[in-house]
Amino acid sequence: MKAFTVLCVLALCFLLLSSVYADSESEKGVEVFGGYTRVKSDDFCCAGQGSGYHLGGGYAPIRFLLLNAEYSYADAPDPGYMRHLHAGPQVRVPLGIFWPFGRVMAGFTEHRLSCANLPPDFPALDRKFSVAFGGGVDLQVHRRVGLRLFVLDRIRAQDQWDLRASFGVVFRLF
């Protein structure tokens, strides 16, 4: 799992640094997102809800496709938290100032469980492979700046579902 985390961090760094080479006259470029997130989990023992931050970045080889990686962290009541790290394609359709998008990503989900009645053989730190799918809408306020009005992701990790809702700011480095 550490190798996957390191690989995703290196891929995100590559995407951010590649903005230097993005041709400003073309439709390809780098996109960076940062915002607030709220996560609800149906894990039988997790605290249920948490809030935190959501970061992401990606490279758009063509206007309607973004290859992205995302990380979100949400604090639940002490000592719990929920983390998600995913990468995958995002398809978007620029319609004037609105840019609706849909995506499917794979990665891992980590829950720090915070309940007193954990079975003795059950780990307090639960890390699983997960798949996320969802979509949202961006509002383009400037050529290089947009507001992510909302994004909803449904995240499946083996025997549980997480629902993540986020909003924030998008920087497009075309």
| pLDDT one-digit tens code per residue, 148-172 | 999 999 999 887 888 999 999 999 9
Percent of the chain at pLDDT exceeding 90:
53
How large is the average pLDDT for residues 84-92? 96
What residue segments make up the domains of the chain, in order of their start?
2-173
Choice between 87 and 20, residue whose per-residue pLDDT is larger = 87
pLDDT of residue 74: 92
- Say if domain 2-173 classifies as CATH 2.60.40.420: no
Mean pLDDT of the chain: 82
Residue-wise DSSP of the chain: -HHHHHHHHHHHHHHHHGGGG--TTSS-EEEEEEEEEEEEE--SSS-SEEEEEEEEEEEEEETTEEEEEEEEEEE-STT-EEEEEEEEEEEE--BTTEEEEEEEEEEEEEEE---TT--TTS-SEEEEEEEEEEEEEEEE-SSSEEEEEEEEEEEEETTEEEEEEEEEEEEEE-
Q: Is the pLDDT of residue 17 over 60?
A: no
pLDDT of residue 16: 47
